[in-house]
Structure 1
């Protein structure tokens, strides 16, 4: 697969996730705004409804009070006119009586209409009491006026002195007063409800704004998170494409190195052709070149003995050391069977190759009496198995290097390999001895 193809496929895989994150952020912000607006509308509507109810109750209260006062005024005018007509027999007093008699039914009809708007049983009962007492009072007044007009002054007098009219007037006045008290209480309750609604609206609106701000902040945070995720996804795509290019270059370089080994091997064989005396030397050099090729492939995580990738620890060490071993270069290798993945074989092989070349140049194998001991152990550490690889060189020429100056490329390469394995590497010197320990987790 070409690098750009891998990047395209990774980009195609991340597009649905980006789209989902965008939709989620948009839905959260829209839901927050819709909920905040709905709550604010409901709050404002509740306040407006309370104020409308108060205004309606105020208008109704004024109309009821006006009707009650008209009924009371009608009764008083009618009674005053009836009394004046009885005492003076002057028909001009009947004008007041007729005014009251005409006003009463209109005021009573208005009161009954207003009471029909309320489902309060107390108001209905009081209106009934007012109608009963008022009708009785005006019937009594009408009978007395009729007696006077017939000339039955004595009968009219007896009727007046019976106190029936006074009782009905008191009943009417009491019912009017009680109904006004009830209407005033309803008006006060409506005013208090409107006042409470107005008092609630500001803090609740502030709370609504705070909740909307919090929700919008959450939406913004989700949007930022989605943006960061998209950025990370884009970087991942770039890293994957770069890794593919690096792998392609590594395979190309490995191919060229193998071709170089093949060319060198061909040159050696051509140089010894036709000379029987040179044949053993040519065969020895050719075997060394083959060993170097095997070591190179092993350090790259590829092995003809294990085409699937990875390597056995003992086999990997043996192939790395094979090009340099001879009768004067001894090495002791001990350890249980440990399989390394392809991902682990490359950095471990590079570390071993660097140690082997250092041993040949100025370490244990730079003299005939040097010795190398390599061992590894597998141990449990918490919930993970750890591999500890120990390389020990012994020779009189080994000494701790000068501490001044920068680390060489080989040291940096070994530290980088240890970090790639997710482990640590440590090198220490003792008299006539160099010890390297590398510890890294075993892959399942």
Structure 2
């Protein structure tokens, strides 16, 4: 449903004036709200929010000192993108009402218009359209500023993520080299084995960036992200029915699995030669959710990190808005991570369009 159009606020204590002005304003396609005094005006601004008020129209009788003070506070506190257009309809420009005189202290008068009554409806409509267009440009400016702020935040996040991944990649390559060197019997074998692992690691990064073809199954997603760090296939045990994930969930989960595998290679079950990773998933028959578990076995003892870094935040934020939040446990046998994937984000038959659930997807589910 589209957001409602911002209204014009009409402050005209005399009922006949209020109805006549509202009729003219609404004939331009602009919704209006009439208020009787400064208190109702302030309540309306608070209700709609300043960013959702198109303009203000004030009659001679409504331009009280209390209203002038309210408009003065708005002028002093509104954000840089905003200049609330205000139209005063008064009896004598040479003797303005107190509400208008208070605003004279505000230097920026570009958003204020004063007309002597009576004003022809055609002129009032023309000015109303002009003020509405001016305010619409302000709203567009606000949207652009919000977009720039979001882009700056995203750029800052990506930069932090890049630094984090570079540090992780260097640590992982060092760990892979040490592990490969311990098993290699010659320089040639070391070069071949280490080169293979580096290629596998590169393939995993390409998959993570969406460079692969087709929609991978959950088993393929886990294998792609873990095997480059495990080195040997028998160190990764995967079990669960064949399922596909929506694009958004698949990408987010790949980031998490990649982070878990990276941490396991540095501190957990993949940091030695005997540890194993167990990944399994089952369907919760009551909720329909896919319950996914990551378990580390045979590695060194683990404990919660002393500080929460980017990696920990990434792992804990996966589907954190749902009712069943992800859970991380540091058990004596190794780290355990569990997540619940909503029924709407996975299916048991390969999608015809990756990332988009088909209407028949739920019909294709295996009976629970």
TM-score, length basis structure 2:
0.48
Q: Relative contact order: is structure 1 or structure 2 higher (C-alpha 8 Å, sep ≥ 6)?
A: 1
Q: Which has the higher strand share?
A: 2
TM-score, length basis structure 1:
0.41
Larger Rg: 1
Q: Which has the higher helix share?
A: 1
